[in-house]
Structure 1
Amino acid sequence: MNQNLSAYRIFYTVAHAGNISKAAKELYISQPAISKSIQKLEDGIGCKLFLRSSRGVTLTEEGELLYSYVKNAFETLTLGEEKLHRSIELGVGHLKIGVSSTLCKYLLLPYLKEFIKRHPHISISITCQSTNDTLKLLEENKIDIGLIGKPDNTKNIQFDYLEEIEDIFVATKDYLRNLKMRGVTKSHILQNSTLMLLDKHNMTRQYIDDYLQINHIHVQDSIDISDMDLLIEFAKIGVGVACVIKSFVTSELADGTLIEIPLGIPIHKREVGFAYKTQLKPSKSLRAFIEFYRGYTP
């Protein structure tokens, strides 16, 4: 932009008023100052913007074109100011959260339900990604906070522990009965079943792959699934053995829909919690959310 904002403000006001005298009163500046600013703007652009007469001023064809854009710009600025004032008065803010679809449904939603009740004027955006992708978005400042499994490296982030989660393998009674009929012992179920796991980009999958490798469990047949809910549903119809988070299938375990497969060496529990960057000053919305979840028990 070759001209400064004040020159366009004068141009906009004169065009809207249709009279330099009226514009001078509205802007609280002298008529000569307005005429000088218009002349400078016309010289800078290289064309006439107004036709002057005894009754006032009218826009030229070029002036009409410029005015259409300048009008939109100043109306947008005015709208922005109004929204800002309204936000300040109501305590309106915006909070961007990153979370996996699994943790979103089972862990985040109870927190959000109560937080929204207490802070109805804070708008919330949720980006559902894996923990790895959430950490990347956090690093790139594209989200304010993430609900993640605790990473190995917590440098530059504050990790606030929420709870532990436990990974288990489950299947239906019928599926396990069929394995037994084929002579598969309890200690060899994983090696001889169709194993259903989250896809390889997921941090949970990486954790389970490490467990299988360390314990020399060689999987013959596996299916990659992107969603924990689908893993649970596929297990319930007997497709195979699914690796799921125990607290997410408590009702299925209680009523016998799914059976937990005993492991010689249990999978270590993992920590999940909220994480945000320590290098940036948190916004009011983020501060409100941090204060909320630190003192709330769902």
Structure 2
Amino acid sequence: MSKLDLYKVFCMVAKSKSFSKAAQDLYMTQPAVSQAIMQLERELDTRLFTRTSKGVFLTNEGRLLFDYANSAMNLIHVGEEKMLELKNLTTGELKIGVGDTISRYFLLPYLEEFHNRYPNIKFKIVNGTTLEICTLIKSGEVDIGICNFPLEDPALERRPCIDIHDIFVYGERFKSILSRRVSLDQIAKLPLIFLESKSNSRKYVEDYMLSKGIKISPDFELGSHDLLLEFAKINLGVASVTKEFSQEYLDKGILHEVRLTQEIPKRSIGVCFLKSVSLSPASTKFVEIIEKKLLD
């Protein structure tokens, strides 16, 4: 078997944890699958699987190899799919990595327009943080990501789309304290509601405050932007949110924006994709729709 075939068998066995199941999925005999794994182990001079009565499991060396081999197989699969998309976008799939909040407040109109133009293209939307999405892009599991910037990754092409502003908001309980302009240092002394620490949005605000010598210790760390707004609404603290995604609460007077003596610098949301791999026709067209719509 070719080296590529060996790795294909290896990845299938690792995922199914069974030689017989992998053989079924690959339309091979079980002895052929076992022979392929033994051949790969001989060539690498490393045991890749532990065989037990309950199945086969990756060794530490096997897990390390699987991370790279699975990414490579995914990229090959992506390449094959892109070849099928070449004819007028009549078939194919567009895989987008995006967070829940950006999906709701930014992405939906572009998805609608693209779907109206190319109804035969299927969508796969994968949710995650910006860092998780970057990993998915590099492994070939998504074509493009819609991410929070700033983002430093030399492997990725980054195209900013819209500016956004980080602000603090509060409910009625804090109105008397925050009716006048306050400093970030004063904000840090109040009960704080932030996104979880792995969020790029949280990191941006936290790093900016640290640059001013202000260290925060949030009372609440949440997994979604909508929860930030709801926790602030019931007066559990002052929430760090994105202004553009909180406008409904602000316009209705449900929450109020903290007037800071020094505003947090704006940042942006944008599209990311691998520099080293050409975008599929579907991905290219989708990025064009976003950029054109923003210019209109």
Using the size of structure 1 for normalisation, the TM-score is 0.65
| Cα distance change, pair 85–106 in 1 and its aligned pair in 2 (3 A) | closer
Q: Which residue of 1 aligns with 2:280?
A: 283
| Cα distance change, pair 87–214 in 1 and its aligned pair in 2 (3 A) | closer
1:113 to partner: Cα distance: 1.4
In structure 2, runs of 5+ residues without a counterpart are 2-82
CA distance in 2, matches of 1:98, 1:169: 27
Which of 202, 211, 214 matches 1:217? 214
Q: Which runs of structure 2 are paired with 1:193-204 in the superposition (5 Å)?
A: 193-204=190-201
1:246 counterpart = 2:243: yes
Q: Which residue of 2 aligns with 1:164?
A: 163
Q: Which residue of 2 aligns with 1:68?
A: none
| Cα distance change, pair 116–161 in 1 and its aligned pair in 2 (3 A) | same
Q: Which residue of 2 aligns with 1:122?
A: 121
CA distance in 1, matches of 2:137, 2:85: 28
Contact 2:170 2:255 in 1 (8 A): yes
Task: Work out the number of aligned pairs and report it.
Answer: 214
Q: Which runs of structure 2 are paired with 1:9-88 in the superposition (5 Å)?
A: none
Q: Which runs of 4+ in 1 moved over 4 A?
A: 84-90
CA distance in 2, matches of 1:122, 1:193: 49
Which of 285, 289, 293 matches 2:290? 293
CA distance in 1, matches of 2:215, 2:160: 33
Contact 1:93 1:284 in 2 (8 A): no
CA distance in 2, matches of 1:87, 1:278: 20
| Cα distance change, pair 266–239 in 1 and its aligned pair in 2 (3 A) | same
CA distance in 1, matches of 2:275, 2:260: 39
Contact 2:85 2:281 in 1 (8 A): no
1:88 to partner: Cα distance: 5.7
Q: Aligned-residue CA RMSD in angstroms? A: 2.9
1:89 to partner: Cα distance: 8.2
Which of 258, 261, 265 matches 1:264? 261
1:265 to partner: Cα distance: 1.9
CA distance in 1, matches of 2:204, 2:150: 11
Q: Which residue of 2 aligns with 1:5?
A: none
| Counterpart amino acid of residue 288 in structure 1 | K
Which of 265, 269, 273 matches 2:270? 273
Contact 1:231 1:244 in 2 (8 A): yes
| Cα distance change, pair 221–271 in 1 and its aligned pair in 2 (3 A) | closer
Q: Larger Rg: 1 or 2?
A: 1
1:86 to partner: Cα distance: 11
| Counterpart amino acid of residue 146 in structure 1 | G
**Could you say what secondary structure the match of 2:142 adopts?**
coil
| Counterpart amino acid of residue 118 in structure 2 | H
Using the size of structure 2 for normalisation, the TM-score is 0.65
CA distance in 1, matches of 2:286, 2:142: 13
